[in-house]
Structure formats: structure tokens, C-alpha cells
Chain A
Amino acid sequence: MLRNSRLILAHLWLAFAAFGAAIVLGLWQMWVRSPFAAPLASSENYFMSVTAHGSAMGYVLTTFFIMGFGYFVAETALSRPLPFPRLAWTGFTLGIVGALLVVATVFSGRATVLFTFYPPLTATPWFYVGLVMVVVGSWIWCALMLVAMAGWKRDNPGQAVPLAMFATTANAVLWLWTTVGVAAELLFIVIPAAFGWTQAVDVGLTRTLFSWTLHAIVYFWLIPAYIAFYTMAPQLAGGRLYSDLMARISFVAFLIYGLPVGLHHLFMDPEHATGFKSVQMVLTVLVAVPTLLTVFTVCASMEIAGRLRGGRGLLGWVAALPWKQPLVLATGLSFFMLWFGGFGGLINMSYGMNAMVHNTSWVTAHFHMIFGGSVVIMYFAISYEIWPRLTGRMAPSLGLQRAQLWSWAVGMMTLSLPWHWLGLKGQWRRVAQFDYTDPAISWWTPWMAMSLVGGILLVGSAFLFLWNLASFHRAGRSAEAVPPMNFAVALHSGGTPAALNGFRIWNILVLVLMVAAYAFPIAQSFIVKPPYAVVHRVDRTN
């Protein structure tokens, strides 16, 4: 049992409570826009639901899971108490109050601006204030991760910070950089407009600032999955981490190349010329590299495990892996979906092909597969793995856990493959109602039905997940049966370059790249002085 079990469980249960509610909304949204009549269908309800689904999945599930898992890693990987646990509770309190503000404002119909805001549409200020509180709570987490790592380094001179903690801290550093864009957008432009202090906004600037956050946030979500790939899956499979060095390089590469690439979300926008879109496109090509390195290192690590377990031949080691271990299974399923998601990402990244798919269901499908699929399935598996350490209780059934992971993967493929196809054929996004009598649209019906089946599977899987977690708490306490938490050990220890034991030099590089990539696109608003657009309030009638 960990010292901070209650703290970690509070974070994770909040994350998964939001997840459980949001996924039901997601299914209802698919039903509304499908050819089959849905209850409670109206434009107001639909877009309110989209706002809630996106905010809960993108901001609440992720942020609280990552915080909770970070505290877990800090305590277990460093084998020492978390510094300032009271501050951690303060961060949690800020976050939960913020999340409740978001829930209240969204469901009172005063914040139907979707989770990416779309100024000059303007919600009640308390919606944005709630989100800022969640972010500020997470900043406390970032500070605690930095303090925890610094404390360990002080007490262990000449040794490399354990990989799991190095990666967690890399994520905290990344998150601090990432949130600068959205914080500037909210604090300087959107919130003043929402309080009525300003009557109009520079829409191009809001989009530029949000793009700063929009891509790196995805790596914030993804890094816990990568931590599990590198440090948990090889351990559970009975192998070793092939290379500690490559793992560190990958995490640092995410930090460096994850940030100066956000303009690729604005390829089709008129407020930037070609030059900086292209700069950030080239850097986007490079952010594929750490994922490709990860695929190699993790596969090599698993191969070691498979061969140690007696696997022979070119691929015999794959069959020899302990697929009964939920986290090993989840890693396999996650990699499978990562192929599709990564391929889609390469399409989106090139600005010529982006014109084919921008704002179509292809994009929705892409991020559902890569986030909802590859990443969230690892959140499940990580939870199954750490819950015994948090509760001192073993899972009554690994079979139900595997069933849950399988149904999630199958559900996500069934949901998102039709979306990919329809998007490629031009199905556009964020729509509550299609005209299925139009011959250009009527052929969608079977594809919409198929994705709806995927959605039903996902809801079933989500409930099974919550059931599986709850059943830990009902199981008898068997602390002695719970094995200690070990992270995978590298094949060869030693030789970690000093630069990969901290972030100073990488922060300087991020700063240089961000200035080079974003200073002009932001400054342009003050040079060009584009006309502003007046605020359109969604929280009150004219």
C-alpha cells in the first residue's frame, strides 16, 4: 500500500467518473446524427452534449489521470515519499471545483462553444474560469513532479533518474509549455470578452494561441501510455528494456518537437500565409520520429521477453508473450491501433492531403483511434496494474479485464474505420443532423450503423471497466499477495548522458524553437492589425 493511495485514487476515480458519463453522451451524439431517430434530439442538446463530451474526455479524464499516475510514479519509481502532499490535495481541490464549474455551466446551456471554444462565440465566463482552475491545479502537479525529481537527484548524485520518473517529469515540463498558449488566449482575450470588458476579439490571434496548445496537449495525453510501453510492459512480459537511452531520447524529442507544430491545425486558415505553416509542417514530420523509435525499442524489449520465455524463430517470440497479462495485451492492441492512427496522422500532416480531410469525419476518426484507442486503452491497463498497489487487493478476474480491453479495441475499430471512410468521402464535422434523403448522403446509412455498433460496444466496455475497478474495492484485502511495483530494467545500465538526466538544455531549445516558430505568427496580429469580430454570446438571449 502506498502512502498516497487516497490522493491517487481520488484523482483516478474523478477521471473515470467523467469518462463514464462522457462516453454515454458520445453514443447519444452518434445516434442523433445517424439515420435513426433519437430521443431528446435538438440542436441545443446536441451541441451542449458535444461540449460536455469533449471537455470531459479531453480535459478532465486526461488531466486527472495523468496527475494521479504521476503521483504514483513519483512514489514508486523514486521509492520515497511525495513532497508536499498537502499541496497535491490543493491542486486536486482546485481541479475538482473547476471541473464542477464546467459541468454546471455546460449543462445549464450557457457554454455551448464546444471544447475548443470558437471565439467570437462566447460562453459564460465561469466556464472558462472553471477550465483555468483545472489547468492551475495541474500546474501544481507539474511543480511537485519537478520538486520530486530534483530531490531525488540531490540525494542520488551520479545516478540517472529512473526512466518512469524522468518521463513523467518530461510530461510535466511539456505541459507547462503547452498550457501557455491556451492560458494566454483565455486570460487575455476570451475571459475579458466573456465578462463584457471587451466587445470584440481578434479571432485569428485566438486561433493561433490555441494552436500552440492544441498539438502538444496530445503528447501530454500520450506520454503515460508510452511510460507503460517502456517501463511496465517489458517488466510484466518478463523481459528487459532494450535501451534506456533511446527511451529518454524519445521523451525529450516529444518535448522539443511536440510544441512548435501547432500551426498544422491551421493549414486551411486564412490568417496565416504559407511560410510558417510550412515551417511547422516540416517540424511535424520530425515529431513522428520518437514514435517510430518507440515502436522499435518496445518491440525489441518484448522480443527479449518472448525469447526468454522460449519463443523461437522470426516471430515465435510473439506467440510466447504472456498475452494473459492485461497490460501486455493492451500494449499489443494499442500498437495495432497506433499503426492506423499514425498513418492517418501522416496524411493530415501534409498540407496538400490535409485539404482532402480537414474538418471531415476523418479527423474525428483519427483522434478517436489514436487517443481513445491507443492511449486510453493504456489508461485502462495501467489502472488494472496499479490498482492492487493502491488498494492492497487483487483483481477477482483477469479474464474480465482482458474482455474489457478486447471489447474496447474492437469497438474503437468498428467505430472509427467507417468514420475514416466517410470523412475521406467528405462527411463534414460537428453536425447534429444530416439529410439522408440526399443521394450524396443516403449511401452513408450502413456505415453510420456500423459505427453506431462500435459506439455501443465502447459504452459496454467502459461500463465493464468501471465494474472491474469497483470489483477491486469489493475484493478481500490481500496485501501480501500484491507484488511490489517494479519498472522494467534496462538491458545495459550505465552511460546515460548527463544531458538526459534533466531538462535545462532541452528547455532552452524549446524556447528557441518556440520563438522561431511562433513569435512572428503571434506578432503578425499586431503588425497586420486585422479587424476584430464582435462577441456572440451563447449564455444569454439578445
Chain B
Amino acid sequence: MAIDEHSVARSERRWATAMITASATLLAAIVYASLGAHITPPSNSLETVDPATLHVAGEFVEANLGTKVESGGEVVARIVTAQFAFQPACVVVPQDTPVTFRIASPDVIHGVMILGTNVNSMVVPGYVSRVRTRFQDTGDMLMPCHEFCGLGHSQMLAHVRVVAKADFKPDANGRATCAPE
């Protein structure tokens, strides 16, 4: 063969440099997204919560679940994911408004995603999952459990209803629920 050892080494160095540059470019894009668009994985600061007492005390008692406009004006949707149901099964949120989802599990691991959006989080018993987002379009969207949680996993489904800002009408306590269809 007419390839000497030096040209082999040279071609490899060139290729390795190109590939490391490509990887660095990818990384730069991710860093840019982190800083420019403030993209982080969900739950960027840890919060713990006891799964055993979730339903008894604290923010995840039944009466406190669902959408609420907090005193500071922040729209918060609190959801419990349990074998094999979401509580509440429908969450109403205003369009084009920052919304924070706070989700916890009283039993096993679950996962939550909202189809057609990048809202996606695991729900691990012992921790609060937090996702902040802003919905562009109005309408009903599927919110299934996407992590195996037991035999009823396939039927564990809920909906998010995005309504125009004008149609989002919380009550005197700041609470809003999905109107029956």
C-alpha cells in the first residue's frame, strides 16, 4: 500500500479534530439554549415531600389541587399522580401565561407529559416535580402517565384545557376548574 504511517496519522488527526469540533459545537448550542432561552431540565431545585402524608397535610391535600392563581399572581396547577388516576383529571390554564405545574406521587413512580408541548417530567415519590411553561394554543390536550406504574398504567390519562386569557375566570379564592363539557 502506498499510504505511509505519517499520512495515516495526519488523516486521523484531521478527522479527530473535526469530530471534536463538531461535538463542541453541539455543546455550545446547548449552552446557548441554557443561557439565552433559560432552558433547564424540570425541577431545577430540589423539593422533597412525604408520599405517605401527601393527602393529609400540606399543599397536595385534595381541596388544594387543581389550578390556582396564587396571591402573587402566579398561576399554579397542583396535581397528584396516583395509581391509576390524575387528581384532578382535567386542569384548566390560561393561554400565553406563565404556568407552574407542581406534581407529586403518593405511591410509586409516575411520569407526566402533555402531548404537543415539551412539558415532560418524571414524578418520583418523595419529591415534588416542577415544570414551568407557557401554552401557545387553546384547546384540550392529552396528559397521559408515561412511566410504568402498575397494571392500570395504560388507562392513566388526564387532560389540560388551555383557554383564552379572557375565558380564564378563577373564583374568589383564585381557583379555576374545567367546566363540564
In the complex, A touching B (Cβ < 8 A): yes
Give A contacts to B, CB under 8 Å.
43-44, 46-47, 112, 114, 118, 120-121, 202-204, 207, 240, 242-243, 245-246, 266-274, 277-278, 281-282, 285-286, 288-289, 292-293, 296-297, 300, 304, 346, 350-352, 354-356, 358-360, 425-426, 428-435, 438, 440-441, 491-492, 495, 528, 530-534, 536, 538
- Number of residues of chain B lying within 8 A (CB) of chain A: 71
Residues in A with CB closer than 8 Å to B163 are: none
A-B Cβ contacts below 8 A, count: 205
From the candidates B5, B30, B48, B123, name the one contacting A531 in the complex (CB within 8 A): B48
Interface with A: B9-17, B60-68, B88-96, B168-176, which one?
B9-17
Report the Cα distance A351→B29, complex, angstroms. 11
Instruction: State how many angstroms separate the Cβ of B6 from the closest Cβ of chain A.
Output: 10
From the candidates B83, B120, B147, B154, name the one contacting A356 in the complex (CB within 8 A): B120
Residues in A with CB closer than 8 Å to B118 are: 355-356
Report, nearest first, the 8 A-B pairs whose CB atoms are least far apart: A426-B115, A533-B125, A270-B43, A428-B146, A531-B50, A359-B146, A270-B127, A43-B151
Instruction: State how many angstroms separate the Cβ of B45 from the closest Cβ of chain A.
Output: 6
From the candidates B22, B124, B153, name the one contacting A269 in the complex (CB within 8 A): B124
Contacts A269-B43, A270-B130; A47 near B124 (Cβ below 8 A): no
Q: Is the CB of B30 within 8 A of A273?
A: no
Q: Is the CB of B41 within 8 A of A350?
A: no
13 extra interchain contacts, Cβ-Cβ under 8 A, other than A273-B43, A432-B154? Answer: A118-B149, A121-B109, A240-B1, A266-B122, A268-B122, A270-B47, A271-B124, A425-B115, A434-B154, A440-B142, A495-B5, A533-B107, A536-B83
Interface check B164, CB cutoff 8 A? no
Residues in B with CB closer than 8 Å to A203 are: 109, 124-126
From the candidates A112, A245, A271, A288, name the one contacting B23 in the complex (CB within 8 A): A288
Report the Cα distance A425→B118, complex, angstroms. 11
Report the Cα distance A433→B47, complex, angstroms. 33
Residues in B with CB closer than 8 Å to A286 are: 23
Residues in A with CB closer than 8 Å to B142 are: 426, 438, 440-441
Q: Is the CB of A118 within 8 A of B43?
A: no
Q: Is the CB of B121 within 8 A of A268?
A: yes
Report the Cα distance A276→B113, complex, angstroms. 23
Report the Cα distance A282→B23, complex, angstroms. 9
- Kindly supply a per-residue 1/0 record for chain B positions 138-180, scoring 1 wherever the CB is within 8 Å of any chain A CB and 0 otherwise: 0001101111111111110100000000000000000000000
Q: Is the CB of A426 within 8 A of B1?
A: no
Q: Is the CB of A346 within 8 A of B107?
A: no
Q: Is the CB of B150 within 8 A of A536?
A: yes
**B33-54 interface (Cβ within 8 A of A):** 33-34, 37, 39-52
Contacts A274-B40, A360-B113, A429-B146; A293 near B47 (Cβ below 8 A): no
Instruction: State how many angstroms separate the Cβ of B175 from the closest Cβ of chain A.
Output: 25
Interface check B77, CB cutoff 8 A? no
Q: Is the CB of B46 within 8 A of A270?
A: yes
Q: Is the CB of A355 within 8 A of B120?
A: yes
Residue contacts A-B, CB under 8 angstroms, 21 given: A118-B147, A204-B127, A207-B109, A240-B1, A242-B8, A273-B43, A293-B15, A293-B19, A358-B120, A359-B146, A426-B142, A428-B144, A430-B153, A491-B3, A492-B5, A530-B126, A531-B49, A531-B52, A532-B126, A533-B51, A536-B107
Report the Cα distance A285→B115, complex, angstroms. 28
Q: Is the CB of A292 within 8 A of B19?
A: yes
Q: Is the CB of B126 within 8 A of A271?
A: yes
Closest B residue to A266 by CB, please name it. B122
Report the Cα distance A270→B124, complex, angstroms. 7
Contacts A270-B129, A491-B1; A350 near B147 (Cβ below 8 A): no
Residues in A with CB closer than 8 Å to B8 are: 242-243, 491-492
Residues in B with CB closer than 8 Å to A432 are: 153-154
Q: Is the CB of B46 within 8 A of A120?
A: no
Report the Cα distance A243→B15, complex, angstroms. 13
Closest B residue to A112 by CB, please name it. B151
Among A204, A304, A530, which residue has the most Cβ atoms of chain B within 10 A?
A530
Closest A residue to B19 by CB, please name it. A292
Residues in A with CB closer than 8 Å to B119 are: 355
Q: Is the CB of A350 within 8 A of B30?
A: yes
Report the Cα distance A112→B150, complex, angstroms. 8
Closest A residue to B126 by CB, please name it. A530
Closest A residue to B148 by CB, please name it. A430
Report the Cα distance A299→B20, complex, angstroms. 18
Instruction: State how many angstroms separate the Cβ of A23 from the closest Cβ of chain B.
Output: 21
Q: Is the CB of B126 within 8 A of A47?
A: no
Instruction: State how many angstroms separate the Cβ of A391 from the closest Cβ of chain B.
Output: 35
Instruction: State how many angstroms separate the Cβ of A414 from the closest Cβ of chain B.
Output: 24
Report the Cα distance A5→B39, complex, angstroms. 55
Closest A residue to B121 by CB, please name it. A268
Q: Is the CB of B154 within 8 A of A433?
A: yes
Q: Is the CB of A352 within 8 A of B39?
A: yes
Residues in A with CB closer than 8 Å to B3 are: 304, 491
Closest A residue to B48 by CB, please name it. A530
Interface check B69, CB cutoff 8 A? no
**B75-93 interface (Cβ within 8 A of A):** 83
From the candidates B43, B45, B151, name the one contacting A44 in the complex (CB within 8 A): B151
Instruction: State how many angstroms separate the Cβ of B65 from the closest Cβ of chain A.
Output: 18
Instruction: State how many angstroms separate the Cβ of B46 from the closest Cβ of chain A.
Output: 6
Residues in A with CB closer than 8 Å to B34 are: 278, 352
Q: Is the CB of A121 within 8 A of B150?
A: yes
Report the Cα distance A293→B13, complex, angstroms. 10
Report the Cα distance A433→B152, complex, angstroms. 10
Residues in A with CB closer than 8 Å to B49 are: 531
Residues in A with CB closer than 8 Å to B152 are: 43
Instruction: State how many angstroms separate the Cβ of A491 from the closest Cβ of chain B.
Output: 6
Report the Cα distance A266→B1, complex, angstroms. 49
Closest A residue to B24 by CB, please name it. A285
Q: Is the CB of B48 within 8 A of A528?
A: yes
Report the Cα distance A285→B151, complex, angstroms. 37
Closest B residue to A47 by CB, please name it. B151
Residues in A with CB closer than 8 Å to B29 are: 350
Q: Is the CB of A296 within 8 A of B154?
A: no
Instruction: State how many angstroms separate the Cβ of A242 from the closest Cβ of chain B.
Output: 7
Closest A residue to B44 by CB, please name it. A274
Instruction: State how many angstroms separate the Cβ of B55 from the closest Cβ of chain A.
Output: 14
Report the Cα distance A304→B2, complex, angstroms. 10
Report the Cα distance A396→B164, complex, angstroms. 70
Among A47, A271, A354, which residue has the most Cβ atoms of chain B within 10 A?
A271
Residues in A with CB closer than 8 Å to B149 are: 118, 121
